[in-house]
Each structure stands twice: as C-alpha cells, then as structure tokens.
C-alpha cells in the first residue's frame, strides 16, 4: 500500500468513524436525512482482460471512464476471479462462497444436456441481505444463474430486473441465443431495438435517476455482456479505432472498439450518479468475471494464458473500488482477494451482519490503507465442464502464499509454481519441492471433497 504511516492511521480512523455513524443511523427507526447509508454499484464486465484497461499503460486502447474510477479510488493489482468462466464467478460474487459450495461448479447453459450447475435455492444472496437492511435492489444486464424458477433474479433478492437471463448473446443487436429471446423486464419478455451495451447503460442511468428521489439506498448490480464474444462493436466505434491505428489486426481493433464502447457506457452511468448528487455516497466496485479470451486477442498483461485457464491470465482481473471521501484517491494495493470477497466487504461497509457460512473475507480495512492478514489463507479455483476437453471432470488450482498448484486439464499432470520468483508460470517446480506439493495437494483434495457434497443439478433436470 502506498501510504505513509500517519496517512494510513487517519484513513483507518475515517473508515471506522463512517461505519460507526452508519450503524447509528440504521439503528433508528426514523433516521436522520443528513447522511444517508451508502448506495452500492457493482459494475461487472464479461471477459475483460487484466490489461485491457488503459490505466495499466496499455497503449492501443483508451478507457478514460474506468481509469477515472481508479483515479478516484483504489486499484487492486492482485485481484482474482473465482473461476476462469462466467456462471461460477457470478455465483461466488453474489453468495460470498466458493461456487461449488452453492451448486455452480461450471457454466449454466441454456442447453440442459451441457449445463454444469444449479444454484442452490437455499443459498443466501447479497441482494436478499441488503434488501433486509432497507436497500432497493436491482440487476441490470446479465444474470446467467438460472433460466426458470426458483432461480430467476426476482426470486433471488432483486426487486427489479432489467436484462438478460441466459449466457452469451449470439448477436448484440438481435439479442438472441439459439433463436431464443432471454431479455426480460422482471418476469416479462421484452424485445427492444438497440445494442445490448447501450440498453444496459440507459436502463442503469434511468434507474439511478429514479432512485435519486427515493429515501432508501440502492444496490445496483450492473453486469454487462461485453466484451464477451461475439466481438461486436458499433461500426462508428470500430471506424474510430481503425483511423487511429492502422497497424492493428482486425481482431484486436474490434475488441478495442468493443471495450471503448463499453467504457463510454460506464462513463454515462457514473455521470448519472454525479448529476443526481449520489456519486459521493455510492460505493462503486468495478471488476471482470474472468480473464480475457486470447482467441479475441485480449490483453492479460504479462500473465500466462486467458479465459478458461487456471493460469494467472485466466484468473487475474482488473478491479477497483471507489467511495469518495472514504477511500484515498489514486491508491493501490497488492492485497490478494477473490470475487467472493466483495460480498462480505460490502456487508461490512454497510453494517450488515455476515452469514456464518461463507468463505469470502472482507477486505474493508484495505480500502483505507489498512491490511488483512491472508498469509495462511488458501485460495481455491476450480471448474467442472463437459465436452472432449474436460470430459465432465474438473480442473483445479490452489494458491497459498507464493505457491500455486494447478491442474489445467483433467488429462495432464499437476504443476507447481513459485509466483514470487516466476509470476509468468514458466518453470514447473513440482519435482523440486515435494513437501510443498503434498501440503497444497492435501488442501486442494479437501476442498474438492467438500464441494462434492453439494448437488449441482436440478432434481427436475430430466423432465
């Protein structure tokens, strides 16, 4: 953390004072209107590469609005997605638990014969807990955790849902998957013209403006489909990128345009907060659900591989947290966290009691220059998948301190890396450190056994 000692103490005192005050406000039936509990905005992008943001110095694309959030908040340089694919990470983020512990070890798909998860109907969800605390809860964008009861957004804690039930879109303008329309406003099927990114942006702007005149705070989970393939930027955005740099490959130019269009939408959402006077009292979390897809020429920085992989490039994601007057602008941290840690952190900041059975750990002290001791905390990553590449089996990894043990295919041997000396995972040292291997393997096997206790298919899946 880049703070001197006195600044760190002052920031910690600031956060503690804010938490105490919010607790006092909530404890009164008729609370004062002088200071409101913080709103919450989670912006989750889909398959955005670790370095597909210009705040890391990536020179071929521009993300000024994402950069502005980082400049006004704290940047996480060692933030991991729970899984290298969509559904499991989303399940972990919204439950504060490892994804397999809530029945989502793999991707939930529209085709039940190739679907590898069923969200546990009993799992406590972030919107449910915030709603019980007086928050209005909304999901705009991609759900991807179930297509029917009991796992639709309105049944899992979101008072308002305006978005996409399924996984990917085959076309961002037509907005279909296998010729099926999964776009909804609450329970109603809708079919509106326009690019999906623009629709999600506008719906979020509208929601933010509507909530500005309401007394209760809001929780908005804005989950964009972009930049998940098919990479489909509006033509005018692509033309701007081509005109700016003729040396780019067509694939890279399209992905850059797609991300820059997305960044523009994020800027409009943040501007709506500012125009409505809500920006300074809104906690904004920005992250991605997994690393970028190399086939689309995503940039995962110096790290190995990308989406679907348990190497660092598939798991590290660009992440920041912004909260004006609480978080030091322009700060950065090397603290290691997972997507599921967002859950307890937000509850901690909003003075909501944490569920007893979660694996996520709050990083709230880190936001103001403090620290959380994770030296003995193992971080687990796993995915179950079908097809010839996976055969219905799992891939898995565990990180403990500087060590990382992984098996990136069910049909290849395990590998061990010292991330402090070899962050690019080029030198497998499993034969050199047998005791380290044994320790990490024992941790990993226990984790997989616990996950195996949880059903991940609906009892009605064959009907």
How high is the pLDDT of residue 36?
78
Q: Could you tell me how many residues make up the chain? A: 463
**309 and 430 co-located in one domain:** no
457 domain-assigned: no
**201 and 266 co-located in one domain:** yes
Is residue 320 within 8 A of residue 59, CB to CB? The reply is no
Q: Which domain-ending residue is among 345, 368, 391?
A: 368
Among 181, 286, 305, which residue's Cα sits nearest to residue 224? 286
Helix (H) or strand (E) holding 89: helix 86-95
**72 and 173 co-located in one domain:** yes
With left for phi above 0 and alpha for psi between -120 and 50, is residue 389 left, alpha or beta?
Answer: alpha
Is residue 144 within 8 A of residue 173, CB to CB? The reply is no
Q: Which domain-ending residue is among 341, 368, 395?
A: 368
46 domain-assigned: yes
Non-local (6+) Cβ contacts of 417 within 8 A are: 403, 404, 406, 425, 427, 428, 429
What does pTM read for this prediction?
0.92
Q: Which domain-ending residue is among 342, 368, 394?
A: 368
Strands (DSSP E) found in 370-461: 379-384, 394-400, 403-407, 415-418
How high is the pLDDT of residue 455?
95
Residue 317 belongs to a domain with what CATH number?
A: 3.40.720.10
373 domain-assigned: no
With left for phi above 0 and alpha for psi between -120 and 50, is residue 217 left, alpha or beta?
Answer: beta
Domain tally for the chain?
2
459 domain-assigned: no
Per-residue pLDDT of the chain (463 residues; tens, 9 = 90+): 444 444 444 444 444 544 443 444 344 333 334 557 999 999 999 999 999 999 999 999 999 999 999 999 999 999 999 999 999 999 999 999 999 999 999 999 988 899 999 999 999 999 999 999 999 999 999 999 999 999 999 999 999 999 999 999 999 999 999 999 999 999 999 999 999 999 999 999 999 999 999 999 999 999 999 999 999 999 999 999 999 999 999 999 999 999 999 999 999 999 999 999 999 999 999 999 999 999 999 999 999 999 999 999 999 999 999 999 999 999 999 999 999 999 999 999 999 999 889 999 999 999 999 989 888 999 999 999 999 999 999 999 999 999 999 999 999 999 999 999 999 999 999 999 999 999 999 999 999 999 999 999 987 644 4
**46 and 177 co-located in one domain:** yes
Residue 437 belongs to a domain with what CATH number?
A: 3.30.1120.10
**348 and 396 co-located in one domain:** no
How high is the pLDDT of residue 191?
98
**125 and 165 co-located in one domain:** yes
Non-local (6+) Cβ contacts of 227 within 8 A are: 45, 46, 47, 48, 52, 255, 258, 259, 262, 292, 296, 298
Render the burial of 295-324: b for 16+ CB within 10 Å, e for the rest. ebbbbbbebbbbbbbbbbbbbbbbbbbbbe
Specify the residue for token string 């793999």. Answer: 106
**192 and 305 co-located in one domain:** yes
**155 and 280 co-located in one domain:** yes
Alpha helices in 301-400 (DSSP H): 312-315, 342-349, 387-390
**212 and 308 co-located in one domain:** yes
**330 and 394 co-located in one domain:** no
How high is the pLDDT of residue 460?
64
Alpha helices in 276-358 (DSSP H): 312-315, 342-349
**175 and 78 co-located in one domain:** yes
374 domain-assigned: no
204 domain-assigned: yes
- Boundaries of domain holding 212: 5-28+36-368
Among 257, 346, 338, 333, which residue's Cα sits nearest to residue 61? 257
**115 and 63 co-located in one domain:** yes
How high is the pLDDT of residue 35?
59
Among 46, 43, 70, 348, which residue's Cα sits nearest to residue 219? 43
120 domain-assigned: yes
456 domain-assigned: no
With left for phi above 0 and alpha for psi between -120 and 50, is residue 225 left, alpha or beta?
Answer: alpha
């Amino acid at each position: 953390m880049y703070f001197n000692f006195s600044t760190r103490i002052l920031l910690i005192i600031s956060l503690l004072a804010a938490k105490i005050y919010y607790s006092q406000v909530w404890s009164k039936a008729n609370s004062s209107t002088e200071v409101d509990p913080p709103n919450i905005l989670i912006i989750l992008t889909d398959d955005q590469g670790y370095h597909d943001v210009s705040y890391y110095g990536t020179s071929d694309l521009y993300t000024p609005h994402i950069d502005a959030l980082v400049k006004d908040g704290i940047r996480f340089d060692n933030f991991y997605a729970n899984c290298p694919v969509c559904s499991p990470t989303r399940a972990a983020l919204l439950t504060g638990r490892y994804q397999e512990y809530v029945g989502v070890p793999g991707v939930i798909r529209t085709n039940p014969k190739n679907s590898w998860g069923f969200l546990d109907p009993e799992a406590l969800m972030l919107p449910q807990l915030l709603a019980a605390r007086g928050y209005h809860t909304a999901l705009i964008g991609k759900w991807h955790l179930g297509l029917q009861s009991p796992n639709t957004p309105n049944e899992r804690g979101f008072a308002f849902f305006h978005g996409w039930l399924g996984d990917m879109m085959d076309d961002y303008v037509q907005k279909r998957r296998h010729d099926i329309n999964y776009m909804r406003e609450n329970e109603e099927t809708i079919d509106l013209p326009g690019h999906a990114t623009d629709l999600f942006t506008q719906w979020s702007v509208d929601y933010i403006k509507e909530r500005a005149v309401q007394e209760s705070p809001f929780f908005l989970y804005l989950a964009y489909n972009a930049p998940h393939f098919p990479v489909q930027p509006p033509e005018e955005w692509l033309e701007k990128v081509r005109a700016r740099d003729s040396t780019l490959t067509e694939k890279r130019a399209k992905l850059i345009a797609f991300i820059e269009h997305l960044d523009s939408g994020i800027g409009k959402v943040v501007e709506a907060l500012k125009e409505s006077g809500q920006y300074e009292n809104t906690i904004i979390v920005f992250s991605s659900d997994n690393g970028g897809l190399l086939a689309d020429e995503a940039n995962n920085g110096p790290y190995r591989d990308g989406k679907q992989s348990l190497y660092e490039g598939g798991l590290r994601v660009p992440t920041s947290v912004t909260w004006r007057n609480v978080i030091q602008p322009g700060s950065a941290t090397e603290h290691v966290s997972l997507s599921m840690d967002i859950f307890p952190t937000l509850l901690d900041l909003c003075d909501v009691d944490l569920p007893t059975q979660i694996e996520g750990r709050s990083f709230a002290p880190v936001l103001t220059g403090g620290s959380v001791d994770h030296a003995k905390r193992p971080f687990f990553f796993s995915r179950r998948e079908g097809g010839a590449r996976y055969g219905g089996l799992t891939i898995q990894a565990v990180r403990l301190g500087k060590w990382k043990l992984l098996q990136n295919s069910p049909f290849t041997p395990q590998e061990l890396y010292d991330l402090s000396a070899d962050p690019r995972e080029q030198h497998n040292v499993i034969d050199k450190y047998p005791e380290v291997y044994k320790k990490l393997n024992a941790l990993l096997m226990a984790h997989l056994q616990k996950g195996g206790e949880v059903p991940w298919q609906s009892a009605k899946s064959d009907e």
